[in-house]
Amino acid sequence: MKKTAVYIEYLGVLLGTAVVAASFNMFLLPNKIAAGGISGLGVILYFLLQVPAGLTIFLLNLPLFILAARMFGAPFIFRGLFGAVSLAVLVEVLAVLPVVTYDLLLASLYGGILMGIGIALVFRARGSTGGTVLAAQLLNKIFGSTMGQSLIGADFLVVALAGLIFNLELAMYSLISLFVSSRVIDLVQEGVSTSKATLIISDHCERIVSRILGELNRGATVFTGKGAYTGLPREMVLTVVSQAEVPRLKAIVHETDSRAFVIVGNAHEVLGEGFKLVEHRKTRA
């Protein structure tokens, strides 16, 4: 059973890299859109030196994986190496795909969407395609910079290089594609937020909780804090409801205590009774 799960994850990595390669060949490469990462360098070197993009992806990833193997150990990078090699090969294999559009805006938008879906599929299969993600992990290990700083820095350098080699307009389209792909990755991984986490601070928490339980059939957690200005203890209620239930919840709070302080935020994923069931997996210690 465990081996089957591993095979499924490797298939997920393969599917994700195929989607990324399709995006690369159908939208990004033909329009000189270098949307960050080593694939972006592949676009630049393809038009600058006529080097096949797949070869660039493979050769630039190779020293990163060798260094990562020395620093993190071989098991850490094995699945990432599989993803990087798959991407390099599939970029060349899928070069036969037709170019969908030469409109730069459409290419940057739809190329970013498709690339984001592909990378998210790789991440969901617990894989990696190497590139700037791996470079960011190495920079974090060597210099102590955060993953976010390292990723932004590496991608920005690629986009800036595209602006120097091609033109500033293409660099701006590359930034659009980079932004779109990052948002799609979050969307695929976290899903569309249909639940809302609500924090209620009130002098009548007991009555509010009673109505939440009775009228909304939702659970709630009551805990005590302290007002920073007054120094007095305050009761707070935390509850999670569906998006459709938010108006009714706000009405309940307002009717019970018109002076209550209410914070409503997105809950990207909620596991437990009344929401998504928790998946139980057997693991060995």
pLDDT: which is higher, 23 or 225: 23
Cβ atoms of 253 and 202 within 8 Å: the answer is: yes
pLDDT band for 94, please (50, 70, 90 cuts).
very high
- Contacts with 106 (C-beta within 8 Å, 6 or more apart), sequence order: 100
To the nearest 10 degrees (0 to 180), the angle between helices 168-190 and 147-165 is: 150
Number of domains into which the chain is organized: 2
pLDDT at 285 over 50: no
Closest of 41, 3, 285 to residue 154, by C-alpha? 41
Mean pLDDT of the chain: 80
Are 105 and 234 contained in the same domain? no
In degrees and rounded to multiples of 5, residue 80 shows phi and psi of -65, -40
pTM over 0.95: no
User: What dihedral angle (degrees, nearest 10) is formed by the CA atoms of 221, 224, 226, 232?
Assistant: 130
pLDDT at 64 over 60: yes
Are 87 and 141 contained in the same domain? yes
Question: Can you tell me the mean pLDDT for 184-211?
Answer: 83
Closest of 17, 193, 27, 269 to residue 121, by C-alpha? 17
Are 133 and 261 contained in the same domain? no
C-alpha atoms less than 13 angstroms from C-alpha of 219 in its C-beta half-sphere: 6
Are 183 and 259 contained in the same domain? no
pLDDT: which is higher, 236 or 48: 236
Q: Using CA atoms, how far apart are residues 87 and 130, in angstroms rounded to an integer?
A: 10
Are 137 and 207 contained in the same domain? no
* Greatest Cα pair distance in the chain: 71
212-262: pLDDT as tens digits: 998 888 889 898 888 887 888 888 999 998 888 888 899 999 999 988 999
Range of the structural domain that residue 95 is part of: 2-190
**Domain-embedded: residue 256:** yes
| Residue 254: CATH number of its domain | 3.30.70.120
